[in-house]
Amino acid sequence: MTTTTRLGLDRLRAARSARVHYTGPWPPEPLEIAEDTDPAARHARAEQVSVAFLALLERLGPDERAAFLLKEAFDYDYAQIGQLVGLVFLRVSQLNGCAYCIDMHATALREAGIEPRKLDTLAGWRESRFFDPRERLALAWAEALTTLPSGAPPPDAYDALSAHFDAHGISALTMAVALINAWNLLGVGLQPAMP
């Protein structure tokens, strides 16, 4: 008992010492918002915001980063973002044949309260009436990126997407598709046990 207590105290002291001697980047100071007419001051403030934004993105995990960027780009509420990303993740998992991922994403969408007919018709979303224009465009883009080995996405796919999403939205959606493709490769390759 005494040995365990001493080991615990030693570990706490080491953690405190590590915090005191931190040499990494510190987050920027809070930004004071004031109307500056000086271009140099505006430029300095813009750099501070950029550093703060990058620091925020570094702290977020891949799912959180995609949701944050989609929120900023699409002006969706988080429930809509979760549904859109969930549909994209499920469709890409279907295309990649990752049973573990299909089960996981379908279960999460059901628990989030997505309309069951959307899940039932996702594989045939082009013919289904249950998907709105943004969901259709996101699914088309996800399929085009997932099937890259058979050729690059057609130029009209990007043009159609850019009519509804800005550059940040397209980047965030593309990142989400890349992430789920990577996870599917891990799921298919490592063959995890089904829950």
Q: Where are the domains of the chain?
A: 62-190
Mean pLDDT (the chain) is 78
The helix (run of H) or strand (run of E) holding residue 165 is none
Arch. (CATH architecture) of 62-190: Up-down Bundle (1.20)
pLDDT digits over 71-85, tens only?
A: 776 667 777 778 888
> Strand runs (DSSP E) across the chain, as ranges?
none
Under 8 Å between Cβ of 131 and 151 = no
Out of 55-59, 82-86, 165-169, pick the least confident: 55-59
| Helix, strand or coil, per DSSP, at residue 166 | coil
Distant-in-sequence, close-in-space partners of 60: CB < 8 Å, separation ≥ 6: 68
Which pLDDT score is estimated for 23?
63
